Each structure stands twice: as structure tokens, then as C-alpha cells.
Amino acid sequence: MRKKIVFMIINMNVGGTEKALLNMMLEMPRDTYEITVLMLEEYGGFLEHIPGDINIEYFKNYRGIKDVLNKPPKVTTLQLFKNGQIIKAFSLLMMYLISKIVKDKSIFFKYILSTCPEMESEYDIAVAYAGPMDFISYFVVNKIKAKKKIQWVHFDITKIGFDQNFVSKIYKKFDKIFVVSNEGKTKLINLLPNIKEKVDNFTNIISKDFVVKMADKGKGFDDDFCGVRILTVGRLSREKGQDLTIPILSKLKKAGYNVRWYCIGDGSERLEYEQLIREHNVEKDYILLGSISNPYPYMKQCDIYVQSSRHEGYCITLSEARCFNNPIVTTNFTGANEQISNEETGLIVDFDERKMYTALQRLLNDERIRNKFKYNLHQESVDTTKEIEKLYKIADNF
């Protein structure tokens, strides 16, 4: 009899968390596991890549509570008052204030989900995959019936908005907590030592064979540029740090380097980055390619890959870039040292314009170091598919 597993996530937007989930599901044998993806929103560029034998469900009540969860309570209650829903507005505001006073977000979540029954299906394992995302953690614990419950942590909890009081209570109710890097695991345990026994590292799943195969299924660069192509892949957001790279390209151009920087991804900072590109006069050479669900042809064809993130949990795009053996420069976020050996397989620098500029200068000027990195990356094993045995062990242990 197949084990039933549900993964709860926000949506299937083109991002690292969603890619990690997709990679893991592709590795799971369907004759052993019946997989369901439960999403808050029917949205995302990776939706079309979910195999047809995986169940897709949506939390139908989310549309009605989305504003309550994501907008400031003052805005929501004011709108309710304007719509004549005075009692509802008053109740919402009171429950929010109570939850703030007693420092227990569960009170607020319980109130807004009071009319939502438990999910009808029962599972062997329920996974709060979009972690840390407090609402999904609460939902998995309180609204999904399962023999075992797992919390996934994808981000550096010291760098994001992290409700330590709420998390210290809700994480106790999970049977296992997986963190996507060893450094991230250490940070979580240091912050919440009472859950130490439940915490383990689970590196994001990467199949090098799949990544390399997909690189031959797209066109990649289609311009006639003959210089050095630098590539960065990631959501256009502050944490991914593309704003650091724009002035660096300007300096490289002024120094006479024949380079062009390509950026795959889309997001909330696009307009700001377009303005930065204009301010630094690099409109012809800093190319925002937008969201591309298969970035691998570009990773294969680029000359240098740069990961410019301010913070990460475990950077899946960095793992993917390593599959193609091209020289890499990365910022020193959580987990970077677990993927790149500084001065051996790439360069790790602080999130600093001058230091990254200097690192790129070294690569551009020194063919010897470029070849060294290519050779050493080729000798490494990037494949992490064996990590999935940790999930199987939980599934088989009851």
C-alpha cells in the first residue's frame, strides 16, 4: 500500500523553494508514494512541470483570508468598516490585539480559520514545506490529519522576519524539522535549543543528470555578443542582491572589459533595478531576461556565474551552476562554504561591491585560475539525490 504524503506550499512560483520541491518529487517513486501538493494559490511557472500523477489541491478559503494575513490589520479593518461589516471588523481587530498582547500568533490564526474544517484526507506524512512561513506551519499542525508531520526551513532564520515566540511553540508539535544547510541548522538550534533533537540537515535535491539534460532543451543566449557573459539567476528581490551587481558591471565596462551581465528572474525589485541600470548607463550590457523556468542552457553557455545574495538557506541555483563547471563568484551567505571551496572551486566574497569587483577582475585577467576552477568543479559530485533517504526513513518508520 502506497504511503500518502502532502507537501504544503504557497504556490509554484519560479523560485528556489519551489524548484527544490519539484526536484524532490521527481525522485520519489510513485509505486511507493502517493504525493499531493497543497497550495494556497493556483499560481506559478513551475505548475506546468508537476507530473500528471501528482495530486494538486488548493486551499479554497485562502482567497477570503489573504488580505487579513498579508495586509496591516488597520487597513483590513478599515475596509471592513467601510463595507458595513462593523462586527467583523471589531472582532478581527480585537483578536489581532489580543494575539499581540499575549505574544501568541496562534490565537489570530485560530480565529481566521475558525470556519475552516480540517482537511478531509488523511495522510501518512504532512509537510509544511514553505518554511519558515508561520501560517502554513500552523495549518499543517492544526488542519491536516497525518501520522507524522515535518517542518522544512529554507532560509537563514537570522536574516528574515522570524517570530521566535510563535516558532518555539509550533515547532515542538512537528515530528521532524529539516533545515537545508548545516550552517542553517546550527543557527536554528542556537536560537531554539529546546528542539535540537528534532532538527536535521536535508540538502536540497539536485540531480546533475537531469540538470545537464535540460541544458540541451532550450536555446540559451540568442544575441551576437562576443565578449565574456556573466550570469546571475534569482528572484529580483533585495535578498538576492542583484543591486550589488549593476554598479560592478559599470566599473568593469569603464575599466575596458568586454563583458555583458545577464540576469534571469523576476520580482518586486524589477522597476528599481531598471532605474539603477539607467543610472549606471549599462542598458545595453545589463540584460534582465525575466523569469525562465529552464535556466540551464544559460548556465551551460555563460563564462562566469555570479551568486550575489545577501542571504540564503541553501542556494539551489548555486548548486545548479556547479553542474556546468564554469567559474563561480558567490557572496558569503549561509551554506555558501558547503558548496564552494574558496580559491579551489570558486571565489567566496563578502557582500561588498569592491570585493566582488576585485574577484571578477581576477577571473577576467587570469586564465590559469579560471581553468583551475573548471577542473576542480569537474572533479566534484554535485548530485544530492541520496538526501531523500532521510524522508523515506520517516515514511517507513511506522
Q: What is the DSSP string of 283-317?
A: TTTEEEEE--S--HHHHHH-SEEEE--S--SS-HH
How far apart (Å, rounded) are the C-alpha atoms in residues 203 and 181?
6
Q: Which whole-number Å values give the CA distances from 131 to 78, 88, 159, 242, in the listed order? A: 30, 30, 14, 23
Q: What is the pLDDT of residue 398?
A: 66
Beta bridge partners of 152: 178
132, 186, 313, 324, 353 from 158: Cα distances, Å: 12, 11, 10, 31, 23
Q: Could you read off the pLDDT tens digit of each residue along the chain, which spans 398 residues?
A: 899 999 999 999 888 899 899 999 999 999 999 999 999 998 888 888 899 999 999 998 898 888 888 888 778 778 877 877 787 777 877 888 888 888 888 888 898 898 888 888 999 999 999 877 899 999 999 999 999 999 999 988 888 777 888 898 999 999 999 999 999 999 999 999 999 999 999 999 888 888 999 999 888 999 999 999 999 999 999 999 999 999 999 999 999 999 999 999 999 999 999 999 999 999 999 999 999 989 999 999 999 999 999 989 889 999 999 999 999 999 999 899 999 999 999 999 999 999 999 999 999 999 999 999 999 999 998 888 899 999 999 988 76
Question: Which amino acid, residue 390?
Answer: K
Per-residue model confidence (pLDDT) at position 8:
97
Domain ranges of the chain: 3-61+116-206+386-395, 209-379
Summarize pLDDT for 210-219 with one digit per residue, the tens.
899 999 988 8
3-61+116-206+386-395: CATH topology: Rossmann fold (3.40.50)
Q: Where are the alpha helices (DSSP H) in 239-382?
A: 242-254, 270-279, 296-301, 316-322, 336-339, 353-365, 367-379
Specify the pLDDT at position 320.
94
**Order of all β-strands in the sheet with 55-58:** 55-58, 33-39, 3-9, 122-128, 145-153, 176-179, 199-201
At 171 the pLDDT is 94
Q: Alpha-carbon distance 160 to 346, whole Å?
A: 27
Q: What is the pTM of this model?
A: 0.87
Query: Is residue 121 within 8 Å of 6, Cβ to Cβ?
Result: yes
* Spatial separation of the C-alpha atoms in residues 295 and 37, rounded to whole Å: 24
Cell, residue 247: 554598479
What kind of fold does domain 209-379 have according to CATH? Rossmann fold (3.40.50)
